[in-house]
Structure 1
Amino acid sequence: MRESLTLDFCNVSIYDNYMVVVINEGVTVLLKHNNILAELAKDYFENKPFVYITHRLNSYSVDPNIYIETSKIDNLRGFAVVSKDYKARSNAEVEKMFLSKPFGIFSELEEAYEWANKMVKI
């Protein structure tokens, strides 16, 4: 891990090829949150392909329209959801329809890491 950041709505871990985000319990992820995460991605991965991994340890909601904005990040090569929770995985299946980038759903972080490393090489 290159760096770990704590924001008021989440924790972010930055790696060479991906960022892992754990959103806090009860948060509703809005465009303002997305803008902050997009800015972090720009700062750490400018001109370098990367994957966004959301590790869904907590219960929170996401405005699906955010994925339309997320799709505009040129160097974003994929978006991964990691959760063992059936509801979180089901929600991810719906969210997947709003993103025009490769979208993976995994039970384990290691699976998402492997997928992310493959995606940045494509």
Structure 2
Amino acid sequence: MKETIVKLKFCTLSFFDNYVISVINEGEHIDYDLNKILIKTIETHYHTPFVYITNRINSYSVDPNIYPRTTEVKNLAGFAVVSRAHMAKVNAQIEQMFFGKPFEIFSEFDDAIKWAIDLIEKGQN
């Protein structure tokens, strides 16, 4: 499984065949403009279904109003949040209400990857 890493000013993206893992920098606020950059970067990598996995090891905020636009990303099959922090999970539950595709919250990174692969495989059947 080949990994391609792209570093942006506000995050690091690790691209794999069926999923991308993002690590947003500490203290960032993901708003419309940063989301636009994320979407553009990701859309250049994927022309087949993929899952976005955000590894929330840092503390940052997300404007939930970005999710309707994110939901429109053509090949985006699902969205996963990985965090062991209680507040990050609570925030993700709120974000989940704004997202129109499969959206899951995990404590363990491996569980998110397994879910992403299963989601892609189910979509191809």
Instruction: Tell me the TM-score range normalised by the shorter chain.
Output: over 0.9
Following TM superposition, the consecutive aligned residue runs of length 4 or more in structure 1 with deviations greater than 3 angstroms are none
CA drift of 1:45 comes to 0.5
Which residue number in structure 2 is paired with residue 107 of structure 1? 107
**TM-score w.r.t. length of structure 1:** 0.96
Q: Distance in 2 between matches of 1:16 and 1:92?
A: 25
Which residue number in structure 2 is paired with residue 10 of structure 1? 11
Q: Which residue identity does 1:32 align to in structure 2?
A: D
Q: Distance in 2 between matches of 1:42 and 1:29?
A: 18
Q: Which residue identity does 1:13 align to in structure 2?
A: S
Aligned pairs, how many? 121
Q: Tell me the percent identity.
A: 47
**Which structure 2 segments of 5+ residues have no match?**
none
Deviations, residues 68-94 of structure 1 (Å, cap 9, x unaligned): 110111211000000000000010000
1:119 aligns with 2:119: yes
Which residue number in structure 2 is paired with residue 90 of structure 1? 90
Q: Distance in 1 between matches of 2:39 and 2:50?
A: 12
**3-state secondary structure, aligned to 2:117:** helix
Which residue number in structure 1 is paired with residue 20 of structure 2? 19
Q: Distance in 1 between matches of 2:53 and 2:94?
A: 17
Which residue number in structure 2 is paired with residue 32 of structure 1? 33
Q: Which residue identity does 2:69 align to in structure 1?
A: E
